[in-house]
Amino acid sequence: MWMWIWIAVAVLAAVGEVLTTALYLASIAVAAVVATILALVFLPIAVQTLAFVAVSLLGIAVVRPILARSLGLEGSLGLDGSVRQEHLEGKRAIVTQTVTGHGGQVRIGQGEFWSARAYDHESHMDVGALVEILLVDGVTALVIPVESPRLTSGSPASQ
């Protein structure tokens, strides 16, 4: 009987994890699978419960921070539950569709395309312009134009 309860806990936690993506319920799902295995080999419920608690706590306290850091989720969960893309903030991008305060598109790196809009709603950035990502709002990068470096009369290139 306990095996079916652990399976139900594992399934519910896995579904909850897919909906929240905060990586807390993933640890609980894994712990419930461990408890299910222990139930299959007929270990007492006390052992199953102790293993469930231990694996859950270990996953939340140790494994989750490592995974969150490697996936770029650490400290990125907003108050509204959205995941911030802090690893993109400060990166440079090229405008691929004119960016205004209402929309546009940029390319980050060699092929990562993001919808974008101007951080300053009055700004207008043409195709090919270099921009910097200030922050990401959902799946839209808020960008500002980057000034092109200019050679001064005292630079070696102009002599």
The domain locations on the chain are 2-70, 86-145
93 membership: H or E segment, kind and range: strand 92-97
Write the pLDDT tens digit of every residue in 69-102. Answer: 777 665 555 555 555 567 788 899 999 999 999 9
Task: Please choose, from the candidates 158, 16, 35, 141, the residue with its C-alpha nearest in 3D space to the C-alpha of residue 89.
Answer: 141
131 membership: H or E segment, kind and range: strand 130-137
Alpha carbon of residue 37 to chain centroid: 32
pLDDT band at 158 (very low <50, low <70, confident <90, very high): very low
Span 86-145: which CATH code?
2.40.50.140
Cα dihedral: 149, 103, 118, 98 (round 10): 20
Task: Please choose, from the candidates 27, 92, 94, 32, the residue with its C-alpha nearest in 3D space to the C-alpha of residue 63.
Answer: 27
Confidence (pTM): 0.51
Write the pLDDT tens digit of every residue in 19-63. Answer: 887 889 999 999 999 999 999 999 999 999 999 999 999 999 999
Angle between helices 2-20 and 45-58 (to 10 degrees): 20
